[in-house]
Amino acid sequence: MSIVEVREQARSTLLGARARRLDEVRDTFRRQRWQVGYRRRLMITDAVLMALAVALTVAVQAMWVGGGTSGLTVTQLVKLTAVAAALPVFVALAKGYDARVFGSGPEEFQRVFDGTWRVFAVLAVGALVIDRAGLRTFFLVAFPLALGLLLLGRWAWRRVLVRERSRGGYTTSVLAVGLRDQAERLISELHARRSGYRVVGVCVAGDEIVPGEDILGVPILGDLRNAAAVATDTGADCVAVSGSDVITADVVRRLGWELEPIGVDLMLTAELADVAGPRITVTPEQSVSLLHVDAPRFAGPKYVAKTLMDWCGALLVTLMVLPVIAVVALAVATTSRGPVFYRQDRVGRHGTTFPMLKFRSMRVGADAEQLVLEGENHADGALFKHRDDPRVTRVGKFLRRYSLDELPQLFNVLGGQMSLVGPRPPLPHEVSRYEARMRRRLLVKPGITGLWQVGGRSDLPWKEAVRLDVFYAENWTPFGDLLILARTAKVVLTGQGAY
């Protein structure tokens, strides 16, 4: 057999393998235009909930002013319909129906919030010009009620989205383009975090193609130069390009031109780990786009606002749970010997030490017994945890399961030593073992709850807990804090990961 024949046979083998892999991908990952139907359902839900909020507000106004309820007048019905129809428009202007933020977390809720307050801002201006009667009552009731219903509705649809994605549906199919190691990293990240993106194929450099081979279960479907054709064949929703020596700006530009007529999005992956979206800005210049990453700031007006929010929130919660605090204190005092409260030195912002308060959940002298149990540590890294710690009292087990032992930390928040939301407050001996990266957790106040609390609590691996704390310290937002507090309520009620 001649060299030419060998080459032709190898080429036909490669093309045959590629064709078979394409058939497999087509059968498994056909393009799902689920975004259109999901967006339509979101818009209808938002309009209905807005109408409900306005109708309830009108009913409340009728009771306050007239002492009873009455049906909607024609004028009120027209206003209600107009407001309900306007809400999806303003949320759309805030990009709240962008498929790229579906199920994304705080960013999705932030855009719903932005659209909602803009609707009420327009209503406020109109009411001042046209009709001031009942303005104060309307906004005191309608805005928080509408915002609460809209966020609750979006949360409910996110539950549907999560359930469908766990079944393999409602996902955005991605064709990864780049070198093998880059594609492997992208596949690992997207699939591990269940972000809604599913890599359905890979295009690599020609010398890296091996017939029938895959990367982490994802088939290699072709060469970098054929990415647009492969995207068409597989029905991919978008192409994710990782930079390399063989993928120049000209290659990316041409790929964009080829993808444009077939309606496939083009994404460029950036090696930016744990940087939240609000810190990233793209500045388009004539010949190049500049990606700006804002440095995290740990002082200024935003932190003044956080302090005020912490103090007001802690005061409100303390007043609400005073009866619970009294009952827990009585239970601790009557079921075991020792003080009701347990004081422990913890490390706060900038490495300062403060006495953190908790309800005592262990017998007196339990600290001295830790050395005996060190060999039974059920946590990794610098933490010490024991799933069935014999030092914990019977009442203490209940308190820990539902985090009732943490309630006295509200007084630490009122004293300015802690925050409602923040990194977990570490012990001094834990801090002494910190690497430079870990010390960034100390740039903000520790919190009663945080990403570690809603991400697994005691079951969370040490490295992941550190990553979440550092991520929070560098990327926190007031709205994100509110979402963490809401998620904390669910975690506490179910007792997940607590021991």
Alpha helix (H) residue ranges in 167-197:
180-192
Q: Which residue has the higher pLDDT, 2 or 156?
A: 156
Same domain membership, residue 184 and residue 162: no
Please give the pLDDT value at position 324.
93
* Residue 317 pLDDT > 80: yes
What average pLDDT does the segment 300-310 reach?
87
What average pLDDT does the segment 41-61 reach?
88
Average pLDDT of the chain to the nearest whole number: 79
Residue 347 lies in a domain: yes
- Given 166, 201, 229, which residue is the final one in a domain? 166
What average pLDDT does the segment 269-295 reach?
68
Residue 20 lies in a domain: no
Residue 295 lies in a domain: no
What average pLDDT does the segment 447-457 reach?
80
Same domain membership, residue 181 and residue 221: yes
Query: What is the DSSP secondary structure assignment for residue 342, as one 8-state letter?
Result: E
Amino acid at 241: V
Same domain membership, residue 175 and residue 201: yes
Alpha helix (H) residue ranges in 67-134:
74-93, 106-130
What confidence tens digit (pLDDT) does each residue in 233-254 have?
Answer: 888 888 888 866 667 777 788 8
Number of domains comprising the chain: 3
Please give the pLDDT value at position 262.
82
Minimum mean pLDDT among 249-263, 365-379, 435-449: which range?
Answer: 365-379
Same domain membership, residue 455 and residue 308: yes
Pairing of strands 197-204, 218-223: parallel
SS3 79: helix
Residue 23 lies in a domain: no
Contact status, residue 399 vs residue 328, Cβ threshold 8 Å = yes
* Residue 45 pLDDT > 90: yes
**Residue 268 contacts by C-beta under 8 Å, 6 or more apart in sequence?**
240, 241, 243, 252
Domain residue limits at 47: 34-166
Q: Which residue has the higher pLDDT, 132 or 221?
A: 221
Same domain membership, residue 203 and residue 333: no
Read off the CATH number of the domain in which 255 is found: 3.40.50.1980
Minimum mean pLDDT among 174-178, 222-226, 361-365, 382-386: which range?
Answer: 382-386
Same domain membership, residue 181 and residue 224: yes
Residues making up the chain, counted from first to last: 499
* Residue 312 pLDDT > 90: yes
Same domain membership, residue 118 and residue 210: no
What confidence tens digit (pLDDT) does each residue in 428-438 have?
Answer: 888 888 888 88
Say what angle helices 227-234 and 3-28 make with each other, to 10 degrees. Answer: 40
Same domain membership, residue 413 and residue 335: yes
Please give the pLDDT value at position 30.
45
| pTM, rounded to two decimals | 0.70
Residue 4 lies in a domain: no
SS3 445: coil
- Given 135, 166, 197, which residue is the final one in a domain? 166
Same domain membership, residue 411 and residue 305: yes
Q: How far apart are CA 283 and CA 200, in angstroms?
A: 31
What average pLDDT does the segment 328-336 reach?
90
Please give the pLDDT value at position 4.
46
Q: How far apart are CA 217 and CA 166, in angstroms?
A: 18
pLDDT confidence bin for 272, thresholds 50/70/90:
low
- Given 99, 132, 166, which residue is the final one in a domain? 166
Q: How far apart are CA 377 and CA 386, in angstroms?
A: 6
Residue 288 lies in a domain: no
Same domain membership, residue 389 and residue 257: no
